[in-house]
Amino acid sequence: MKYAEELSLDEEGIPILTDIVRDDYEPEPPDMRLARRASDMAPREIADELLGNESFRKQIEEVAATLTRSVCQQMEEALQPVLEQAIGMALNDNDAISSEAVRQQLESALPDMVAEALQVSGDSPE
């Protein structure tokens, strides 16, 4: 048995541990190993390694979700005054009672209309 011959054994055949393991020892994280290997890799190989890394993909998904929410919020903020102005202009010519009813209906439908427009464009809000 070659493996047993490499180990120091006590009289009962139990392996004697010779390497000291300290409490403060922390193994090198996988990302550091990848960074060390990356210096010898081509850019395409690095990209393939990163895309195959589960934690990297999760980080990319989180960044994409945050960016999507931010863009949707900015679009809503940018569109709100323009839409309010357009609704106001359209309703100025109508009498007060019918214009208020139309205004309320449009304001209640607006969030769904924006969400539907975003879904059609492929940027659904979260």
pLDDT of residue 1: 44
> Does residue 66 surpass a pLDDT of 90?
yes
**What is the 8-class DSSP label of residue 27?**
P
The answer to whether residue 5 sits within a structural domain is no
The answer to whether residue 1 sits within a structural domain is no
Banded model confidence at residue 65, pLDDT cuts 50, 70, 90: very high
The answer to whether residue 48 sits within a structural domain is yes
The pLDDT tens digits of the residues spanning 18-44 come to 777 677 767 767 667 667 777 788 888
- pTM for the model stands at 0.41
Q: How many domains does the chain have?
A: 1
Residue 91 is part of which domain span? Answer: 29-121
pLDDT of residue 31: 67
The answer to whether residue 115 sits within a structural domain is yes
> Does residue 124 surpass a pLDDT of 70?
no
